[in-house]
Structure 1
Amino acid sequence: MKLVHIATALFFAVVGFGSAQAQSNDDYLTIQLKDGPVVIQLMPDVAPKHVAQIKKLASSGEYDNVAFHRVIDGFMAQTGDVQYGDMENGYDAQRAGTGGSNLPDIQAEFSNTPFERGTVGMARSQDPNSANSQFFIMFAEGGFLNGQYTVVGKVVSGMEYVDKIKRGEGGNGEVTDPDRMIKVTVGRN
């Protein structure tokens, strides 16, 4: 009899867990790359303002066809310049990486969450409060970024596709004929 109760409890715990995941589906971002989908678990508890801005930009299609304009082997792949990085609408190779979006810059939300392989962080200028739309995905651990850049999420599937993003050849990782985020949607698609 006890075994039945334990099995029943486990069943409801698993079913309940699945329901909780379905309710939080909007805390994921799916990026379609040329080689396959990348799913990022966003961290609204760590960086609520940054996550809200990313979700707003993704929901409105702003990230679709945006280039990975700066990619440094063994470090990270940077994208998200919706102003100059849209490869189908106004792409400017000389300025990609210098723009943002029509939304305001965001105050830094630094945390103790470490930069590890698959961590997603917000790009910014020298001003810690200048993050807007650009973000980067870490290829490897980057402890020197800890507490200096806002962590917004982590890759939970598709890191093998991130690893295939075309690397830059310029001194700052600039990419000629870069890969792009084909489609970016909120949720696990």
Structure 2
Amino acid sequence: MTVAFGASLLGACQTQPPPDPAPKLAAVDAPTPDASWREVGAENLVILKTMSGDVVIELAPEAAPEHVAQFREAVRANLYNGEYFYRVIDGHVAQAGLEFEHLLEDWAELPLEAERAVDPDGFVPLGNEDLFASQVGHRDGFAVGRENGQEWLLHCPGALGMARNAPPHSGSTEFFIPIGQRRYL
């Protein structure tokens, strides 16, 4: 598996059309972009290249700044190049990274960053509670849960999370992607 940062280079791939000597028709205003779309900064975009195709990942530094910083550093250090998803459980998760402790010695174990104080601005509720949170919704395109003044990202299928051992402060460089409904992770 190879992980590489991606950036939109569409403009660089286009060539200029030859000049058209024919008169132009009146310009038509381009449609206004849908307000539900937003740009993703290149520093928060990772393209995971697998033998089955590319996976585009958006990082959420506001939710987990230390984990995002270490993941970026691992990507830039080519830590994941040539690695595999060593744990894939159908309907559960796909897990990758350096699975052997001696390979992780140079990487810090990070504190759990799962919960943060609730910011009332920018939260879009779904309108109903679920089994894991009294309020669920979205913030900046990410699924979040809220309860007791705390907010956290939800581990919905396709999300990316840092894998850890039983202690809550044991996340390092391993990551997982839920394949099924694994919100309790």
**Distance (whole Å) between structure 2 residues aligned to residue 128 and residue 58 of structure 1:** 23
For 1:106, give the aligned amino acid: L
Matches within 5 A, 1:40-189: 40-81=57-98, 96-98=99-101, 99-100=103-104, 102-111=106-115, 112-145=152-185
Give SS of 1:136's match: strand
- CA gap of 1:67–1:101, structure 2 versus 1, over 3 A, is farther
TM-score, normalising length from structure 2? 0.58
**Distance (whole Å) between structure 2 residues aligned to residue 114 and residue 134 of structure 1:** 18
After superposing on structure 2, the runs of 4+ consecutive aligned residues of structure 1 that deviate more than 6 Å are: none
**Distance (whole Å) between structure 2 residues aligned to residue 100 and residue 56 of structure 1:** 14
The unaligned stretches of length 5 or more in structure 2 are 1-28, 116-151
**Distance (whole Å) between structure 2 residues aligned to residue 139 and residue 37 of structure 1:** 16
Deviation at 1:100, TM superposition (A): 2.5
TM-score, normalising length from structure 1? 0.57
Q: Share of identical aligned residues, percent?
A: 29
Give SS of 1:26's match: helix
**Distance (whole Å) between structure 2 residues aligned to residue 31 and residue 47 of structure 1:** 19
The unaligned stretches of length 5 or more in structure 1 are 1-6, 82-95, 146-189
Structure with bigger RCO (C-alpha 8 Å, 6+ apart):
1
**Distance (whole Å) between structure 1 residues aligned to residue 180 and residue 89 of structure 2:** 11
- CA gap of 1:69–1:97, structure 2 versus 1, over 3 A, is farther
Deviation at 1:8, TM superposition (A): 7.4
Give SS of 1:71's match: strand
State the Cα deviation string for residues 112-156 of structure 1 (Å, max 9, x = none).
Answer: 2111110111111111001000000110111222xxxxxxxxxxx
Deviation at 1:101, TM superposition (A): 5.2
- CA gap of 1:115–1:104, structure 2 versus 1, over 3 A, is same
In terms of Rg, which structure is larger? 2
RMSD: 2.4
Give SS of 1:29's match: strand
Task: Give the structure with the higher percent strand.
Answer: 2
Total equivalences in the alignment: 119
Asked whether the equivalents of residues 70 and 97 of structure 1 are also in contact (C-alpha less than 8 Å), the reply is: no
Give SS of 2:48's match: strand
- CA gap of 1:139–1:97, structure 2 versus 1, over 3 A, is farther
